[in-house]
Amino acid sequence: MKLTESIKKDFNTMTWVLIPVAIAINVVIGQIVAILKLPVYLDSIGTVLVAAVAGPWAGALTGTLSNIIWGLAIDPNAFPWFPVALFIGFVAGWCAIGGLFKTWWKVVIAGFLIALTAAIVSTPIAVYLYGGITASGSSFITAYLLETGKGVVQAVFSTNFLVEPVDKIATALLAYAIIKGLSKRYLARFPRAENVS
């Protein structure tokens, strides 16, 4: 399948209807978690949901728009993380194409792969824009590791490897639970319904 055909396949009317709903899910839950300073993020549930039923390009767009809108409208700290959100959507979509959203235990594997991607992409942003200490609750772990003598890159990467798997596996499982709650007839209207059935 050519690149343009792959991109076009992700976007039908149902995708365009779901994207704003998914962005709202991401922003509302992400903002609640940020206010409570929890050591997880849970700001990608909508992104993973779109990626699973519509594909990697739709997931990447959803993640990117979520962080840009969230950053411009509510919390400027959310804006610099849009590359992470883009890759979360992209990888989640390819995991779904690969059949990792068909059973709960495969969703756990998808969550881990998404977490690995998020850890790799987010580490340079956390180090170079924030000096390793961000507005999230996970920065308490980073601060502790810095106090133990770890370098900033090592401390941030270690924190990401502790937090991201828990967060992204939970995120993927929550998206999967939403998908399982939808009727087969409704799901069939999405461009990549075969990824989750």
Q: What is the pLDDT of residues 97-126, one digit of tens each?
A: 999 999 999 999 999 999 999 999 998 998
CA atoms within 13 A on the CB side of 186: 8
pLDDT at 1: 66
The pTM of the whole model exceeds 0.75: yes
Angle at 68 between CA 96 and CA 177, to 5 degrees: 30
Q: Which domain holds residue 69?
A: 3-195
**pLDDT: is 143 or 139 the higher one?**
143
Q: Who contacts 103 (Cβ-Cβ below 8 Å, separation ≥6)?
A: none
Q: Which residues of 34-70 are buried (b: 16+ CB within 10 A; e: fewer)?
A: beeeebbbbbbbbbbbbbbbbbbbbbbbbbbbbbbbb
pLDDT at 148: 86
Q: What is the pLDDT of residues 43-101, one digit of tens each?
A: 999 999 999 999 999 999 999 999 999 999 999 989 999 999 999 999 999 999 999 99
Specify the CATH number for the domain of residue 56.
1.10.1760.20
Give the number of domains in the chain. Answer: 1
pLDDT at 135: 66
pLDDT at 143: 83
Mean pLDDT score across all residues of the chain: 93
pLDDT at 129: 85
Residue 16 has pLDDT above 80, yes or no: yes
Residue 149 has pLDDT above 80, yes or no: yes
Burial class (CB in 10 A: 0-12, 13-18, 19+), 5: exposed
